[in-house]
Amino acid sequence: MRRLLFSLVLASLAVPASASLPVGAKAPDIKTMGALGGKNFRLHLAEQLRQGPVVLYFYPKAFTKGCTLEAKAFADAAPDFRKAGARVIGMSADDLPTLRKFSVEHCRSAFPVAVASRATIKAYDVSMPLAGAVATMSNRTSYVIARDGRIAMVHSDLDWKDHVAKTLTAVRAMNK
């Protein structure tokens, strides 16, 4: 029974991530709590967009290998995103205490990470497909949201490796 359950979980993780919010769609507004540098951070997407484009990236679970590597890659690239005029915000279904710790240890206080509620995960169509269960965590999807609140670019792939490069390229292209 354990082997069957393990096989079902692995099979569900092999399902490619997908996001159905198309380029040009209005990004759903978000109001939630998160963390920046270990301190509470109140996120209101509309307020963030007043300052320029936002890279909103969803990840499944803090402190897992892929999510840790992705957070470190976004932290390394944070100066490049700032130079291009964009803000980076990570989103997951993790709780606030976990995000406070993750924001320091792996995001290196370079950008905030915030709580993605079930409603947010549904609104952004980033639900992790799990065999026979209601998904409570997100897949790995990155959105570049233009200052006008429209989706300018989307990249959905469980492999973290291309998210930073693709979103940075999209942000830079917006400035040309």
Question: What Cα–Cα distance (Å) separates residue 34 from each residue in 5, 47, 162?
Answer: 33, 15, 24
pLDDT at 13 > cutoff 60? no
In this structure, the number of other CB atoms found within 10 A of the CB of residue 19 comes to 21
User: 80 is in which domain, residue-wise?
Assistant: 2-174
What would the mean pLDDT of 39-66 be, rounded to a whole number?
96
Domains: count for the chain: 1
> What is the C-alpha separation between 149 and 146, in angstroms, rounded?
5
> Tens digit of pLDDT for each residue in 126-143?
988 765 555 578 999 999
CATH of the domain at 72: 3.40.30.10
pLDDT at 21 > cutoff 70? yes
pLDDT at 97 > cutoff 80? yes
> Whole-model pTM?
0.86
Percentage of residues in the chain with pLDDT exceeding 90?
A: 80
| pLDDT of 16 | 42
**Rounded to the nearest 5 degrees, what angle is found at the Cα of 162, between the Cα atoms of 161 and 163?**
100
pLDDT at 150 > cutoff 80? yes
- DSSP state letters, 87-153: EEEEEES--HHHHHHHHHHTSTTSS-EEE--HHHHHHTT-BPP-TTS---SB--EEEEE-TTSBEEE
Model confidence at 5, in pLDDT bands (50, 70, 90)?
very low
| pLDDT of 131 | 52
| pLDDT of 172 | 95
